[in-house]
Amino acid sequence: MSMNQYGNSNQPQRGPAQQPPPSQSNPTGGSYFVDQKKGEINELKQLLRAVSVDRDPKKKREVIKKVIAYMTLGIDVSRLFTEMMLAIETRDLVVKKMVYLYLCTYARQKPDLAIMCINTLQRDCNNQDPMVRGLALRSLCSLRLPAMVEYISDPLKASLTDANSYVRKTGVMAILKMWHLWPQAVEDGAMVDTLYNMLQDTDAQVVANCVVVLNEIMADAGGMATNTAIVHHLLGRLEDFNEWGVCHILALVSRHEPADEDEAFEIMNLVDPVLRTSNSGAVLAAVNCFLLLTKNMPDMRYQVYERTKAPLLTLMAGGSSETVYCILKHLEGMLPRCPGVFDDEYRQFFTRYNEPTGVKYAKVRCLALLADSTTAEAVIAELGEYAGDMDPLLARQAMRAVGKICLRLPGSAAAAIERLIDLMGMDVSYVKAEAVQVVEVLLRKYPQWRTEVLPSLQRCLKHIDEPAGKAAVIWMVGEYGDEITEAPYMLEPLVDAWEEEPSSQIKMHLLTAAVKLFFKRPPEMQSMLGRLLARAVNDLSSQDLHDRALLYHRLLKHDPEVARRVCCCERPPVSGEFAEDRDTGRRDVVFSEFNTLSMVYDDHSDNFTLPEFRAKKVKNTRAIPGEAEANDLADLGLALERSKADQQQLYDAAVTAPAGGGGGTSGGDVAPPAAAAPEVDLLGLMGGDENGGGWGGGGSQAAPTAAGGGVEFQTGITINSGQFQSLWAALGAGVESSFEMSKVPASTQEVEGLLTARGVNTMASGNKPAAMKFFFYAKDVLGSTYLMQCSVLKPERLLELVVKSDAPDPAESARAISGVVKEAFASYLR
């Protein structure tokens, strides 16, 4: 709500307040009007204090509503703060909500007064009515006052185990609000762990909120960390979520890397029903999942495009113009990747007369991509119709699309060029101009069609006003002048009108064309070229022009034959596409952000978002859930143990007190959804051999290695995370060492690659601004296992190593393996 609206005397009279607009009765306008409002605020103050109002709930509602009305119009009613705070003590929920709304708006202006209402809010957090509890908690956190943190903590903790799901979901969002106010409070309360545990809540909205909150809190680490168990748990309950929840879950799933093809197929089967829903956001999220799951399976990818075809077209046919626009923008990115799939549905991309221009343009661009050898003619005919449209931009885009189709499909050249020649004859200047530009490009690839085009050039030149169009004609006259009888006389008027020509683009083309034509028609051109060069050399409007004219002049003077070879050299015919169309790198980058604004803007997000709002690029699969909490694996182990214990407790509570006996955290409300997700071990780190492989980091592909330091490692071994943890804990203190580094590795993958080559496998790794952390393991040929924790402290340039081993002589073998690691890091060390 901005204050500047206040100055505008017309503003408040359109307001929701049901009273005659004051400014009408006060023709004096601005300043007087302000005073009158002040008077009204005083009046409201009186009313709020009046006993008669206090007794009449209906009246009270009206008065408070008026206050809110002013507030939403941007009128400063903060002077009523005290009176409004008194109104907070009420049983009337409508009034209460309005007061809360007021409070959230002005609390930051009046933090001292806002503290006064803390008591009421805290009390409301314990109200009998779950709605009031949720409302109070939400308002409490929405005050955005750091001073409130201490008052928030307790109600917040209580809300997370509330029996009512509305309160729990509000509580989960409150964690995020708290995190923005004071991140430490969230970390101290180990709330990330709590949130991970709450993924098992019976209420889908609570789970969905956990996902978005975790994702935002862990944004710096690339978003919420997941593993197979979490992903499958969430997908198993996909039907329970509302459509927004589905969007969020699918966005999360799309970041998950399946361990193998079977898992990918399994996930796709679970996601498939979403394609039948009518929410375009959910459908695109599902498509994104499909695309990412099959990114290493080219055959499957084609099938994915086939599968998504019908749903996307249905959304395009029936949606509002805004959603259609979005879908089309995504299709525009998809079409070049799946040639042939959508081709037979090209009619769906014909424009409708009443669509917004953006939709029409996108459809035209899609048509250019869709046409194939059988449909090209029909598509070109349709595009030809658009060229006569009232909207010049649509007409131009249609003609460019014709050009694109023709360049891609040589078989369509006849139809395309015939159509374009037709358009060159149309009585509209911009149509002509665009048509000749397209034809110019086409002739570079299909020069054999020039005989059809050249006769209409003379007429065109006279009627085209646009520099680009005129330049295109001039280029053609210069290039094929020997086949146009009147070519020199087409250029002559332009040469003589040199001084009046404002466009240097035209002048430049004219100069080149005249020189080229000179070599083809010397007798007719000689004197004209002389005049032209004299004028161009003396033309001060453009340095380029001057320089080029001088170059031609000197070339001709030096040796006309050399000049001829320079100006009229043989060029190899254009085969294939033009280089500028081959810019797939940029397109790939944009496509990697499928189902985001990037696709709509056709631009990478780095170009339109501020750094703090960018997704961090951290390889998600390697981050460990709960890593934000755990500083090393030992701590992590503890954290996970604890969470497992909590789950067990939850489970027990649910089993023993199924009727909501209030035990444990939230009573029977939180029974594990056994049918949907039988795994109670959500974090998947505790067992499950099939998950371990996914974490193994490619150790199995390593070649047998005889590493330095006399240790020889086995290849192809895997240890799952559970084994790693228990072994790490069992082995006791390790051997520590540290090395100074000259530089820091660019990525964790780099380091992992180096160690993999030496037979050392990666358990997990993470990259944070201050440090990289790795957990490695290896087994030597004698069967001893080595576990390593390796930290790269970036600011200190220090490599810290902790090695544990079950070898007979741990100290000796630790030294040996330290040597291996040191060798791997050799290029980074001092």
Q: Segment 115-174, which members bind other proteins (CB under 8 A)? A: 131, 138, 144, 166, 169-170, 173
Query: Can you tell me the distance from the alpha carbon of 405 to that of 497, in angstroms, rounded to the nearest whole number?
Result: 38
Among 30, 183, 340, 388, contact with other proteins (rule: CB under 8 A): 388
Smaller CB distance to other proteins: residue 221 or 477?
221
Query: Can you tell me the distance from the alpha carbon of 728 to that of 732, in angstroms, rounded to the nearest whole number?
Result: 7
Q: Does 610 bind other proteins (CB under 8 A)?
A: yes
Smaller CB distance to other proteins: residue 100 or 776?
100
Radius of gyration of the chain measured on its C-alpha atoms: 36
Q: How far is the CB of 178 from other proteins (least distance, A)?
A: 11
CA distances from 152 to 141, 164, 169, 186, 533 (A): 7, 19, 16, 11, 82
Q: Does 391 bind other proteins (CB under 8 A)?
A: yes
Q: How far is the CB of 702 from other proteins (least distance, A)?
A: 34
CA angle, 81 as apex, 77 and 87 as ends, to 5°? Answer: 115
Q: Which of residues 728-767 bind other proteins (CB under 8 A)?
A: none
Backbone angle region of 663, left / alpha / beta, with phi > 0 → left and psi within -120 to 50 → alpha? beta
Residue linked to tokens 């109070």: 136
Site map (CB under 8 A) of other proteins, residues 335-374, x = contact: ------------xx-x-xxxxxxx--x-------------
Q: How far is the CB of 661 from other proteins (least distance, A)?
A: 25
Smaller CB distance to other proteins: residue 176 or 533?
176
Among 242, 527, 584, 648, contact with other proteins (rule: CB under 8 A): 242
Q: How far is the CB of 720 from other proteins (least distance, A)?
A: 29
Q: How far is residue 360 CA from its own chain's centroid? A: 24
Q: Does 223 bind other proteins (CB under 8 A)?
A: yes
Q: Got the DSSP string for 702-725? A: PPPEE-GGG-EE-SS----HHHHH
Query: Can you tell me the distance from the alpha carbon of 370 to that of 367, in angstroms, rounded to the nearest whole number?
Result: 5
Piece of 51-59, 66-74, 733-741, 757-765 that binds other proteins (CB under 8 A):
66-74
Q: How far is the CB of 503 from other proteins (least distance, A)?
A: 21
Piece of 43-51, 89-97, 579-587, 718-726 that binds other proteins (CB under 8 A):
89-97
SS3 annotation, 218-261: CHHHCCCCCCHHHHHHHHHCHHHCCHHHHHHHHHHHCCCCCCCH
Q: How far is the CB of 652 from other proteins (least distance, A)?
A: 31
Q: Which of residues 250-289 bind other proteins (CB under 8 A)?
A: 251-252, 275-285, 288
Query: Can you tell me the distance from the alpha carbon of 160 to that of 152, in angstroms, rounded to the nearest whole number?
Result: 12
Q: Does 247 bind other proteins (CB under 8 A)?
A: yes
Among 177, 404, 553, 779, contact with other proteins (rule: CB under 8 A): 177
Among 7, 30, 318, 530, contact with other proteins (rule: CB under 8 A): 318
Q: How far is the CB of 360 from other proteins (least distance, A)?
A: 8
Q: Does 655 bind other proteins (CB under 8 A)?
A: no
State the alpha helices, DSSP H only, in 583-688. 584-591, 597-601, 633-656
Q: Does 182 bind other proteins (CB under 8 A)?
A: no
460 closest CA partner among 497, 420, 433: 433
Q: Are strands 705-706 and 785-793 parallel, antiparallel or unpaired?
A: unpaired
- 290 CB-near residues (< 8 Å, 6+ apart): 268, 271, 304, 307, 308
Q: CB neighbours (10 Å) of residue 20?
A: 9
CB 200 within 8 A of CB 650: yes
Query: Can you tell me the distance from the alpha carbon of 778 to that of 718, in angstroms, rounded to the nearest whole number?
Result: 9
Smaller CB distance to other proteins: residue 208 or 461?
208
Smaller CB distance to other proteins: residue 190 or 428?
428
Smaller CB distance to other proteins: residue 410 or 425?
425
Smaller CB distance to other proteins: residue 164 or 784?
164
Q: Does 393 bind other proteins (CB under 8 A)?
A: yes
Smaller CB distance to other proteins: residue 595 or 765?
595
Among 24, 52, 320, 575, contact with other proteins (rule: CB under 8 A): 320
Piece of 11-19, 512-520, 666-674, 752-760 that binds other proteins (CB under 8 A):
11-19
Smaller CB distance to other proteins: residue 241 or 552?
241
Q: How far is the CB of 768 from other proteins (least distance, A)?
A: 18
DSSP three-state, residue 800: strand
Q: How far is the CB of 510 from other proteins (least distance, A)?
A: 29
Q: Which of residues 661-700 bind other proteins (CB under 8 A)?
A: none
Piece of 7-15, 408-416, 491-499, 535-543 that binds other proteins (CB under 8 A):
7-15
Query: Can you tell me the distance from the alpha carbon of 64 to that of 338, in angstroms, rounded to the nearest whole number?
Result: 59
Task: Name 115's bridge partners.
Answer: none
DSSP structural state of residue 44: H
Among 385, 581, 588, 796, contact with other proteins (rule: CB under 8 A): 385
CB 649 within 8 A of CB 639: no
Q: Which two tokens stand for residue 249?
A: 């879950």
Q: Which of residues 398-427 bind other proteins (CB under 8 A)?
A: 426-427
CA angle, 236 as apex, 234 and 242 as ends, to 5°? Answer: 65
Q: Does 497 bind other proteins (CB under 8 A)?
A: no
Q: Binding residues for other proteins, how many (CB under 8 A)?
A: 104
Q: How far is the CB of 346 from other proteins (least distance, A)?
A: 10
Smaller CB distance to other proteins: residue 159 or 791?
159
Piece of 332-340, 597-605, 736-744, 795-803 that binds other proteins (CB under 8 A):
597-605
SS3 annotation, 162-192: CCCHHHHHHHHHHHHHHHHHCHHHHHHCCHH
Q: Which of residues 447-466 bind other proteins (CB under 8 A)?
A: none
DSSP three-state, residue 18: coil
Q: Which of residues 613-652 bind other proteins (CB under 8 A)?
A: 613-615
State the alpha helices, DSSP H only, in 568-632. 584-591, 597-601
Burial status of residue 370 (CB atoms within 10 A of its CB: 0-12, 13-18, 19 or more): buried
